[in-house]
Chain A
Amino acid sequence: MGNQSFQFLVFIVLQLILTTQALYFHIRETERKCFIEEIPDQTLVIGKYKVELFDAASNTYLPSTPGIGMHVEVKDPDEKIILSKLYTSEGRFTFTSHTPGEHVICLYSNSSAWFGGQQLRVHLDIDIGEHAVDYQQISAKEKLTELQLRVRQLIDQVEQISKEQSYQRYREERFRATSESTNQRVLWWSIAQLLVLVIAGFWQMRHLKGFFEAKKLV
Protein backbone atom coordinates (compact mmCIF):
# COMPACT_ATOMS: atom_id res chain seq x y z
CA MET A 1 0.00 0.00 0.00
CA GLY A 2 2.78 2.39 0.96
CA ASN A 3 4.72 1.17 -2.07
CA GLN A 4 1.82 2.09 -4.34
CA SER A 5 1.42 5.61 -2.99
CA PHE A 6 5.17 6.10 -3.33
CA GLN A 7 4.81 4.98 -6.93
CA PHE A 8 2.17 7.61 -7.52
CA LEU A 9 4.26 10.32 -5.90
CA VAL A 10 7.27 9.48 -8.05
CA PHE A 11 5.02 9.31 -11.07
CA ILE A 12 3.56 12.77 -10.42
CA VAL A 13 6.97 14.31 -9.75
CA LEU A 14 8.33 12.83 -12.95
CA GLN A 15 5.31 14.09 -14.89
CA LEU A 16 6.09 17.61 -13.70
CA ILE A 17 9.70 17.31 -14.79
CA LEU A 18 8.81 15.85 -18.13
CA THR A 19 6.28 18.54 -19.05
CA THR A 20 8.98 21.23 -19.05
CA GLN A 21 10.65 19.88 -22.14
CA ALA A 22 8.33 20.39 -25.04
CA LEU A 23 7.84 22.39 -28.18
CA TYR A 24 7.69 26.09 -27.41
CA PHE A 25 6.93 29.34 -29.21
CA HIS A 26 6.88 33.03 -28.38
CA ILE A 27 3.92 35.34 -28.15
CA ARG A 28 3.37 38.83 -26.86
CA GLU A 29 1.42 39.37 -23.68
CA THR A 30 -1.67 40.64 -25.45
CA GLU A 31 -1.49 38.23 -28.34
CA ARG A 32 -3.87 35.33 -28.78
CA LYS A 33 -2.65 32.07 -30.22
CA CYS A 34 -5.08 29.54 -31.57
CA PHE A 35 -4.71 25.96 -32.67
CA ILE A 36 -7.23 24.03 -34.69
CA GLU A 37 -7.80 20.38 -33.95
CA GLU A 38 -10.07 18.36 -36.16
CA ILE A 39 -11.37 15.46 -34.10
CA PRO A 40 -14.20 12.93 -34.13
CA ASP A 41 -16.70 12.99 -31.30
CA GLN A 42 -16.20 11.41 -27.89
CA THR A 43 -12.47 12.02 -28.15
CA LEU A 44 -10.40 13.02 -25.17
CA VAL A 45 -7.97 15.89 -25.60
CA ILE A 46 -5.34 16.73 -22.99
CA GLY A 47 -3.25 19.86 -23.26
CA LYS A 48 -0.27 20.77 -21.12
CA TYR A 49 1.42 24.13 -21.20
CA LYS A 50 4.01 26.13 -19.33
CA VAL A 51 4.55 29.86 -19.59
CA GLU A 52 7.78 31.77 -19.01
CA LEU A 53 8.22 35.51 -18.97
CA PHE A 54 11.12 37.28 -20.63
CA ASP A 55 13.24 39.14 -18.15
CA ALA A 56 15.07 42.07 -19.74
CA ALA A 57 17.50 42.30 -16.84
CA SER A 58 18.99 38.84 -17.20
CA ASN A 59 18.07 38.44 -20.92
CA THR A 60 16.58 35.04 -20.24
CA TYR A 61 13.19 33.58 -19.69
CA LEU A 62 12.27 33.16 -16.05
CA PRO A 63 10.47 29.96 -15.24
CA SER A 64 7.28 29.88 -13.19
CA THR A 65 6.69 33.60 -12.78
CA PRO A 66 3.85 34.13 -10.32
CA GLY A 67 1.06 36.38 -11.45
CA ILE A 68 1.08 35.25 -15.03
CA GLY A 69 -1.97 33.23 -15.92
CA MET A 70 -3.22 31.88 -19.17
CA HIS A 71 -6.79 31.81 -20.38
CA VAL A 72 -7.59 28.65 -22.23
CA GLU A 73 -10.63 28.87 -24.45
CA VAL A 74 -11.93 25.93 -26.45
CA LYS A 75 -14.61 26.36 -29.09
CA ASP A 76 -16.49 23.49 -30.67
CA PRO A 77 -17.38 23.30 -34.40
CA ASP A 78 -20.60 25.26 -33.78
CA GLU A 79 -18.60 28.19 -32.36
CA LYS A 80 -19.86 27.45 -28.88
CA ILE A 81 -17.34 27.80 -26.06
CA ILE A 82 -16.97 24.51 -24.24
CA LEU A 83 -14.05 25.41 -22.01
CA SER A 84 -12.97 28.81 -20.81
CA LYS A 85 -10.79 28.83 -17.74
CA LEU A 86 -7.94 30.77 -16.31
CA TYR A 87 -4.99 28.67 -15.25
CA THR A 88 -1.71 29.56 -13.59
CA SER A 89 1.59 29.78 -15.41
CA GLU A 90 1.72 26.01 -15.67
CA GLY A 91 -1.47 24.15 -16.40
CA ARG A 92 -3.19 21.15 -17.79
CA PHE A 93 -6.57 21.28 -19.47
CA THR A 94 -8.80 18.45 -20.61
CA PHE A 95 -11.94 18.26 -22.65
CA THR A 96 -13.95 15.65 -24.49
CA SER A 97 -15.51 16.48 -27.81
CA HIS A 98 -19.26 16.01 -28.13
CA THR A 99 -19.62 16.94 -31.78
CA PRO A 100 -17.20 15.91 -34.50
CA GLY A 101 -15.38 18.68 -36.30
CA GLU A 102 -12.90 21.49 -35.95
CA HIS A 103 -12.27 22.53 -32.39
CA VAL A 104 -10.27 25.68 -31.78
CA ILE A 105 -8.02 25.88 -28.74
CA CYS A 106 -6.98 29.44 -27.94
CA LEU A 107 -4.40 30.58 -25.43
CA TYR A 108 -3.95 34.14 -24.26
CA SER A 109 -2.46 35.59 -21.13
CA ASN A 110 -4.43 37.49 -18.55
CA SER A 111 -2.29 40.54 -18.91
CA SER A 112 -3.91 43.91 -18.29
CA ALA A 113 -1.80 45.76 -20.86
CA TRP A 114 -3.63 47.31 -23.78
CA PHE A 115 -1.13 46.54 -26.51
CA GLY A 116 2.38 45.25 -27.00
CA GLY A 117 3.70 43.97 -23.76
CA GLN A 118 6.51 41.63 -23.00
CA GLN A 119 7.36 38.42 -24.71
CA LEU A 120 6.16 35.15 -23.34
CA ARG A 121 7.53 31.73 -24.01
CA VAL A 122 4.85 29.06 -24.08
CA HIS A 123 5.70 25.36 -23.94
CA LEU A 124 2.81 23.36 -25.33
CA ASP A 125 1.93 19.73 -25.68
CA ILE A 126 -1.47 18.63 -26.97
CA ASP A 127 -2.41 14.96 -26.97
CA ILE A 128 -5.49 13.67 -28.72
CA GLY A 129 -7.41 10.42 -28.53
CA GLU A 130 -5.24 7.43 -27.89
CA HIS A 131 -2.16 9.64 -27.44
CA ALA A 132 -3.91 11.08 -24.41
CA VAL A 133 -4.11 7.75 -22.66
CA ASP A 134 -1.44 7.37 -20.02
CA TYR A 135 -0.40 3.76 -19.97
CA GLN A 136 1.89 4.13 -16.99
CA GLN A 137 -1.04 5.29 -14.92
CA ILE A 138 -3.25 2.45 -16.08
CA SER A 139 -0.51 -0.07 -15.47
CA ALA A 140 0.04 1.26 -11.96
CA LYS A 141 -3.65 1.38 -11.16
CA GLU A 142 -4.76 -1.95 -12.62
CA LYS A 143 -1.50 -3.81 -12.21
CA LEU A 144 -1.30 -5.20 -15.72
CA THR A 145 1.60 -7.08 -17.18
CA GLU A 146 3.43 -5.63 -20.11
CA LEU A 147 1.62 -7.85 -22.60
CA GLN A 148 -1.77 -6.93 -21.22
CA LEU A 149 -0.80 -3.28 -21.43
CA ARG A 150 0.25 -3.67 -25.03
CA VAL A 151 -3.00 -5.38 -25.94
CA ARG A 152 -4.85 -2.59 -24.17
CA GLN A 153 -2.96 -0.11 -26.29
CA LEU A 154 -3.92 -2.01 -29.44
CA ILE A 155 -7.58 -1.92 -28.41
CA ASP A 156 -7.39 1.85 -27.88
CA GLN A 157 -5.70 2.37 -31.21
CA VAL A 158 -8.28 0.31 -33.10
CA GLU A 159 -11.05 2.22 -31.35
CA GLN A 160 -9.56 5.49 -32.46
CA ILE A 161 -9.20 4.23 -36.03
CA SER A 162 -12.84 3.21 -36.18
CA LYS A 163 -13.95 6.55 -34.70
CA GLU A 164 -11.92 8.38 -37.29
CA GLN A 165 -13.44 6.24 -40.07
CA SER A 166 -17.00 7.06 -39.05
CA TYR A 167 -15.99 10.71 -38.76
CA GLN A 168 -14.60 10.46 -42.28
CA ARG A 169 -17.95 9.17 -43.49
CA TYR A 170 -19.71 12.11 -41.84
CA ARG A 171 -17.34 14.57 -43.48
CA GLU A 172 -17.70 12.99 -46.88
CA GLU A 173 -21.45 13.32 -46.53
CA ARG A 174 -21.07 17.01 -45.74
CA PHE A 175 -18.75 17.46 -48.70
CA ARG A 176 -21.25 15.79 -50.98
CA ALA A 177 -24.10 17.95 -49.61
CA THR A 178 -22.04 21.08 -50.21
CA SER A 179 -21.25 20.06 -53.80
CA GLU A 180 -24.88 19.24 -54.55
CA SER A 181 -25.99 22.54 -53.05
CA THR A 182 -23.51 24.38 -55.28
CA ASN A 183 -24.87 22.45 -58.26
CA GLN A 184 -28.42 23.44 -57.39
CA ARG A 185 -27.48 27.05 -56.87
CA VAL A 186 -25.69 27.27 -60.22
CA LEU A 187 -28.73 25.77 -61.95
CA TRP A 188 -31.33 28.02 -60.35
CA TRP A 189 -29.36 31.22 -60.57
CA SER A 190 -28.65 30.57 -64.28
CA ILE A 191 -32.34 30.03 -64.98
CA ALA A 192 -33.22 33.13 -62.98
CA GLN A 193 -30.68 35.28 -64.80
CA LEU A 194 -31.87 33.99 -68.17
CA LEU A 195 -35.48 34.87 -67.28
CA VAL A 196 -34.48 38.27 -66.00
CA LEU A 197 -32.59 39.03 -69.19
CA VAL A 198 -35.52 38.01 -71.39
CA ILE A 199 -38.04 39.93 -69.27
CA ALA A 200 -35.77 42.98 -69.16
CA GLY A 201 -35.38 42.85 -72.93
CA PHE A 202 -39.13 42.72 -73.51
CA TRP A 203 -39.80 45.44 -70.95
CA GLN A 204 -37.19 47.72 -72.52
CA MET A 205 -38.63 47.28 -76.02
CA ARG A 206 -42.19 47.85 -74.86
CA HIS A 207 -41.33 50.83 -72.72
CA LEU A 208 -39.23 52.56 -75.38
CA LYS A 209 -41.82 51.88 -78.09
CA GLY A 210 -44.46 53.52 -75.92
CA PHE A 211 -42.09 56.37 -75.13
CA PHE A 212 -41.22 57.12 -78.76
CA GLU A 213 -44.84 56.83 -79.83
CA ALA A 214 -45.71 59.36 -77.14
CA LYS A 215 -42.98 61.65 -78.36
CA LYS A 216 -44.27 61.27 -81.91
CA LEU A 217 -40.88 60.16 -83.20
CA VAL A 218 -42.10 56.79 -84.49
Chain B
Amino acid sequence: MLGISVNIFVVYLLFLSKQIGANELTFELPDNAKECFHEKLKVGSKYTLEFQVVTGGNYDVDLELKSPSGRVLYKEAKKQYDQIEKTAEEEGVYVFCFSNEFSTISHKVIYIDWRVDGDPEHEIKGNSPQVAQGALTMIESKVGGIHENLEKVIDYQTHHRLREATGRARAEDLQERVQIWSLGQFILIIIVAIGTVLLLRSFFTDRRPASSMSWHR
Protein backbone atom coordinates (compact mmCIF):
# COMPACT_ATOMS: atom_id res chain seq x y z
CA MET B 1 0.00 0.00 0.00
CA LEU B 2 2.70 2.44 0.98
CA GLY B 3 4.79 1.29 -1.97
CA ILE B 4 2.02 2.17 -4.39
CA SER B 5 1.50 5.55 -2.75
CA VAL B 6 5.18 6.32 -3.16
CA ASN B 7 4.97 5.05 -6.72
CA ILE B 8 2.10 7.38 -7.56
CA PHE B 9 3.76 10.30 -5.85
CA VAL B 10 6.96 9.81 -7.82
CA VAL B 11 4.91 9.80 -11.01
CA TYR B 12 3.28 13.08 -9.95
CA LEU B 13 6.65 14.63 -9.31
CA LEU B 14 7.84 13.45 -12.69
CA PHE B 15 4.90 15.25 -14.26
CA LEU B 16 5.57 18.48 -12.42
CA SER B 17 9.10 18.63 -13.68
CA LYS B 18 8.15 18.17 -17.31
CA GLN B 19 6.06 20.17 -19.71
CA ILE B 20 3.30 17.96 -20.95
CA GLY B 21 1.13 18.10 -23.97
CA ALA B 22 -0.29 16.02 -26.74
CA ASN B 23 -2.95 17.39 -28.96
CA GLU B 24 -4.58 16.17 -32.13
CA LEU B 25 -6.73 18.83 -33.72
CA THR B 26 -8.49 19.15 -37.06
CA PHE B 27 -9.67 22.62 -37.98
CA GLU B 28 -10.89 24.50 -40.99
CA LEU B 29 -8.74 27.30 -42.36
CA PRO B 30 -10.84 29.72 -44.44
CA ASP B 31 -9.41 31.28 -47.58
CA ASN B 32 -7.09 34.22 -47.04
CA ALA B 33 -6.78 33.36 -43.37
CA LYS B 34 -3.97 32.67 -40.99
CA GLU B 35 -4.23 30.53 -37.88
CA CYS B 36 -1.62 30.56 -35.13
CA PHE B 37 -1.06 28.30 -32.16
CA HIS B 38 1.26 29.01 -29.25
CA GLU B 39 2.78 27.00 -26.47
CA LYS B 40 5.18 27.80 -23.71
CA LEU B 41 8.11 25.39 -23.66
CA LYS B 42 11.04 24.81 -21.38
CA VAL B 43 14.62 24.39 -22.52
CA GLY B 44 15.33 20.85 -23.59
CA SER B 45 11.74 19.81 -24.32
CA LYS B 46 11.43 17.71 -27.39
CA TYR B 47 8.45 18.66 -29.49
CA THR B 48 6.96 17.20 -32.63
CA LEU B 49 4.56 18.91 -34.97
CA GLU B 50 2.91 16.92 -37.70
CA PHE B 51 0.36 18.36 -40.08
CA GLN B 52 -1.59 17.20 -43.09
CA VAL B 53 -3.99 19.03 -45.35
CA VAL B 54 -7.07 16.82 -45.51
CA THR B 55 -9.36 18.61 -47.94
CA GLY B 56 -9.37 21.77 -49.96
CA GLY B 57 -7.99 23.21 -53.17
CA ASN B 58 -4.57 21.86 -54.10
CA TYR B 59 -4.03 20.36 -50.64
CA ASP B 60 -1.30 22.80 -49.71
CA VAL B 61 -0.68 25.24 -46.90
CA ASP B 62 2.13 27.48 -45.64
CA LEU B 63 3.64 26.81 -42.25
CA GLU B 64 5.96 28.94 -40.15
CA LEU B 65 7.44 27.97 -36.81
CA LYS B 66 9.05 30.67 -34.69
CA SER B 67 11.05 30.50 -31.51
CA PRO B 68 10.41 32.92 -28.59
CA SER B 69 13.14 35.24 -29.81
CA GLY B 70 11.49 35.54 -33.23
CA ARG B 71 13.93 33.27 -35.00
CA VAL B 72 12.29 31.31 -37.79
CA LEU B 73 12.86 27.63 -37.16
CA TYR B 74 10.82 26.28 -40.01
CA LYS B 75 9.28 28.02 -42.97
CA GLU B 76 7.82 26.14 -45.90
CA ALA B 77 5.26 27.18 -48.47
CA LYS B 78 2.56 25.07 -50.07
CA LYS B 79 3.25 21.76 -48.39
CA GLN B 80 0.74 18.99 -48.12
CA TYR B 81 2.14 17.23 -45.07
CA ASP B 82 5.27 17.32 -43.01
CA GLN B 83 6.71 16.30 -39.69
CA ILE B 84 8.94 18.54 -37.61
CA GLU B 85 10.91 17.18 -34.67
CA LYS B 86 12.98 19.58 -32.70
CA THR B 87 14.32 20.26 -29.25
CA ALA B 88 13.55 23.57 -27.61
CA GLU B 89 16.71 25.61 -27.20
CA GLU B 90 15.10 28.64 -25.63
CA GLU B 91 12.52 28.96 -22.95
CA GLY B 92 9.38 30.82 -23.88
CA VAL B 93 6.42 30.82 -26.16
CA TYR B 94 6.84 29.00 -29.45
CA VAL B 95 4.35 29.84 -32.17
CA PHE B 96 3.45 28.07 -35.37
CA CYS B 97 1.19 29.59 -37.98
CA PHE B 98 -0.69 28.08 -40.88
CA SER B 99 -1.41 30.43 -43.70
CA ASN B 100 -3.91 30.08 -46.53
CA GLU B 101 -3.39 33.64 -47.71
CA PHE B 102 -2.31 32.60 -51.21
CA SER B 103 -5.70 31.10 -51.95
CA THR B 104 -8.78 33.19 -52.61
CA ILE B 105 -11.40 30.53 -53.11
CA SER B 106 -10.57 27.31 -51.32
CA HIS B 107 -10.80 26.79 -47.59
CA LYS B 108 -8.71 23.97 -46.22
CA VAL B 109 -9.19 21.42 -43.49
CA ILE B 110 -5.90 20.80 -41.69
CA TYR B 111 -5.03 18.08 -39.23
CA ILE B 112 -2.27 18.77 -36.72
CA ASP B 113 -0.61 16.52 -34.17
CA TRP B 114 1.36 18.44 -31.58
CA ARG B 115 3.36 16.50 -29.03
CA VAL B 116 5.61 17.81 -26.32
CA ASP B 117 7.93 15.37 -24.56
CA GLY B 118 5.86 12.45 -25.72
CA ASP B 119 2.58 12.15 -23.87
CA PRO B 120 3.40 11.52 -20.21
CA GLU B 121 -0.21 12.04 -19.22
CA HIS B 122 -0.92 8.51 -20.25
CA GLU B 123 2.50 7.05 -20.03
CA ILE B 124 3.29 4.92 -17.08
CA LYS B 125 6.66 5.37 -15.52
CA GLY B 126 7.94 5.04 -12.06
CA ASN B 127 9.88 2.99 -9.60
CA SER B 128 8.03 -0.28 -9.37
CA PRO B 129 8.55 -2.43 -6.31
CA GLN B 130 11.46 -4.62 -7.28
CA VAL B 131 10.38 -8.06 -6.25
CA ALA B 132 12.17 -10.38 -8.65
CA GLN B 133 14.33 -7.92 -10.50
CA GLY B 134 15.44 -9.94 -13.53
CA ALA B 135 12.11 -11.48 -14.55
CA LEU B 136 10.04 -8.36 -13.89
CA THR B 137 12.26 -6.13 -15.94
CA MET B 138 12.14 -8.46 -18.93
CA ILE B 139 8.34 -8.58 -18.94
CA GLU B 140 8.31 -4.84 -18.44
CA SER B 141 10.60 -4.22 -21.37
CA LYS B 142 8.54 -6.52 -23.58
CA VAL B 143 5.35 -4.78 -22.54
CA GLY B 144 7.02 -1.45 -23.15
CA GLY B 145 7.99 -2.63 -26.62
CA ILE B 146 4.44 -3.75 -27.38
CA HIS B 147 3.17 -0.38 -26.19
CA GLU B 148 5.48 1.46 -28.56
CA ASN B 149 4.48 -0.73 -31.48
CA LEU B 150 0.82 -0.18 -30.75
CA GLU B 151 1.45 3.55 -30.71
CA LYS B 152 2.97 3.21 -34.16
CA VAL B 153 -0.07 1.21 -35.33
CA ILE B 154 -2.38 3.94 -34.09
CA ASP B 155 -0.24 6.50 -35.87
CA TYR B 156 -0.42 4.58 -39.15
CA GLN B 157 -4.15 4.19 -38.74
CA THR B 158 -4.47 7.94 -38.34
CA HIS B 159 -2.53 8.56 -41.53
CA HIS B 160 -4.64 6.01 -43.39
CA ARG B 161 -7.79 7.65 -42.10
CA LEU B 162 -6.63 11.08 -43.27
CA ARG B 163 -5.77 9.88 -46.76
CA GLU B 164 -9.07 8.06 -47.02
CA ALA B 165 -10.86 11.21 -45.87
CA THR B 166 -9.16 13.16 -48.63
CA GLY B 167 -10.24 10.63 -51.27
CA ARG B 168 -13.76 10.40 -49.95
CA ALA B 169 -14.25 14.16 -49.78
CA ARG B 170 -13.23 14.40 -53.42
CA ALA B 171 -15.59 11.56 -54.40
CA GLU B 172 -18.54 13.16 -52.60
CA ASP B 173 -17.77 16.51 -54.18
CA LEU B 174 -17.63 14.84 -57.60
CA GLN B 175 -20.96 13.11 -57.05
CA GLU B 176 -22.68 16.37 -56.24
CA ARG B 177 -21.11 18.22 -59.12
CA VAL B 178 -22.02 15.51 -61.65
CA GLN B 179 -25.65 15.82 -60.57
CA ILE B 180 -25.80 19.60 -60.73
CA TRP B 181 -23.96 20.00 -64.03
CA SER B 182 -25.86 17.19 -65.73
CA LEU B 183 -29.17 18.71 -64.70
CA GLY B 184 -27.98 22.07 -65.89
CA GLN B 185 -26.90 20.69 -69.26
CA PHE B 186 -30.21 18.86 -69.68
CA ILE B 187 -32.18 22.02 -69.14
CA LEU B 188 -29.83 23.96 -71.38
CA ILE B 189 -30.33 21.52 -74.26
CA ILE B 190 -34.11 21.92 -74.04
CA ILE B 191 -33.85 25.70 -73.85
CA VAL B 192 -31.49 25.86 -76.83
CA ALA B 193 -33.72 23.58 -78.91
CA ILE B 194 -36.81 25.64 -78.26
CA GLY B 195 -34.86 28.87 -78.60
CA THR B 196 -33.45 27.95 -82.02
CA VAL B 197 -36.91 27.16 -83.35
CA LEU B 198 -38.35 30.41 -81.99
CA LEU B 199 -35.47 32.39 -83.46
CA LEU B 200 -35.95 30.87 -86.89
CA ARG B 201 -39.67 31.54 -86.73
CA SER B 202 -38.98 35.14 -85.87
CA PHE B 203 -36.81 35.53 -89.01
CA PHE B 204 -39.74 34.53 -91.20
CA THR B 205 -42.67 36.23 -89.49
CA ASP B 206 -42.07 39.96 -89.08
CA ARG B 207 -42.97 42.17 -92.05
CA ARG B 208 -41.76 39.49 -94.41
CA PRO B 209 -44.97 38.72 -96.44
CA ALA B 210 -44.83 42.12 -98.16
CA SER B 211 -41.11 41.96 -99.01
CA SER B 212 -41.24 38.29 -100.07
CA MET B 213 -44.11 39.07 -102.37
CA SER B 214 -42.12 41.92 -103.92
CA TRP B 215 -39.19 39.53 -104.24
CA HIS B 216 -41.02 37.01 -106.31
CA ARG B 217 -42.12 39.56 -108.86
Q: A5 on the interface (CB 8 Å rule)?
A: no
A14-B172 Cα distance, complex, nearest whole Å: 46
A186-B24 Cα distance, complex, nearest whole Å: 38
Q: A3 on the interface (CB 8 Å rule)?
A: yes
Q: A114 on the interface (CB 8 Å rule)?
A: no
- Are A7 and B20 within 8 A (Cβ)? no
Annotate A175-218 by CB proximity to B: 1 below 8 A, 0 otherwise. 10011011001100100110011001101100110011001010
CB distance from A5 to the nearest CB of B (A): 12
- Are A168 and B161 within 8 A (Cβ)? yes
Q: Write out the residue numbers on chain B whose beta carbons fall within 8 Å of the beta carbon of A150.
A: 124, 140, 143-144, 147
- Are A193 and B186 within 8 A (Cβ)? yes
Q: Write out the residue numbers on chain A whose beta carbons fall within 8 Å of the beta carbon of B165.
A: 38, 171
Partner of B164, one of A10, A175, A207: A175
Q: Write out the residue numbers on chain A whose beta carbons fall within 8 Å of the beta carbon of B106.
A: none
Look across to chain A and name the residue whose beta carbon is closest to the beta carbon of B40.
A21
A215-B19 Cα distance, complex, nearest whole Å: 92
Q: A174 on the interface (CB 8 Å rule)?
A: yes
Number of A-B contacts (CB under 8 A): 187
- Are B150 and A147 within 8 A (Cβ)? no
Chain B contacts with A in 103-141, Cβ cutoff 8 A:
109, 114, 119, 121-122, 124, 126, 128-129, 136, 139-140
Partner of B197, one of A17, A136, A165, A204: A204
Chain A contacts with B in 26-44, Cβ cutoff 8 A:
26, 33-38
Q: A18 on the interface (CB 8 Å rule)?
A: yes
Look across to chain B and name the residue whose beta carbon is closest to the beta carbon of A140.
B8
Q: Write out the residue numbers on chain A whose beta carbons fall within 8 Å of the beta carbon of B9.
A: 10
Q: B210 on the interface (CB 8 Å rule)?
A: no
- Are A153 and B147 within 8 A (Cβ)? yes
Which residues of A are in contact with B by a Cβ distance under 8 Å?
3, 7, 10-11, 14, 17-18, 21-26, 33-38, 124-128, 130-131, 133-136, 139-140, 143, 145-147, 149-151, 153-154, 157-158, 160-161, 164-165, 168, 171-172, 174-175, 178-179, 181-182, 185-186, 189, 192-193, 196-197, 200-201, 203-204, 207-208, 211-212, 215, 217
Extra A-B contacts (9), CB below 8 Å, given A36-B27, A181-B175: A124-B23, A145-B128, A150-B140, A150-B144, A154-B150, A160-B154, A175-B164, A192-B186, A203-B193
Which residues of B are in contact with A by a Cβ distance under 8 Å?
1, 4-5, 7-9, 11-12, 15-16, 19-28, 35-40, 109, 114, 119, 121-122, 124, 126, 128-129, 136, 139-140, 143-144, 146-147, 150-151, 153-154, 157, 160-161, 164-165, 167-168, 171-172, 174-175, 178-179, 182-183, 185-186, 189-190, 193, 196-197, 200-201, 204, 212
Q: Nearest 6 CB-CB pairs, A to B? A: A189-B182, A200-B193, A146-B128, A36-B26, A157-B150, A182-B175
Q: What are 27 A-B residue pairs whose CB atoms fall within 8 Å in the complex?
A: A21-B39, A23-B21, A23-B25, A23-B114, A26-B36, A33-B27, A131-B22, A131-B24, A134-B121, A134-B122, A135-B124, A136-B12, A140-B8, A145-B4, A146-B126, A150-B124, A150-B143, A153-B122, A154-B146, A154-B150, A157-B150, A157-B151, A158-B150, A175-B164, A189-B178, A196-B186, A204-B197
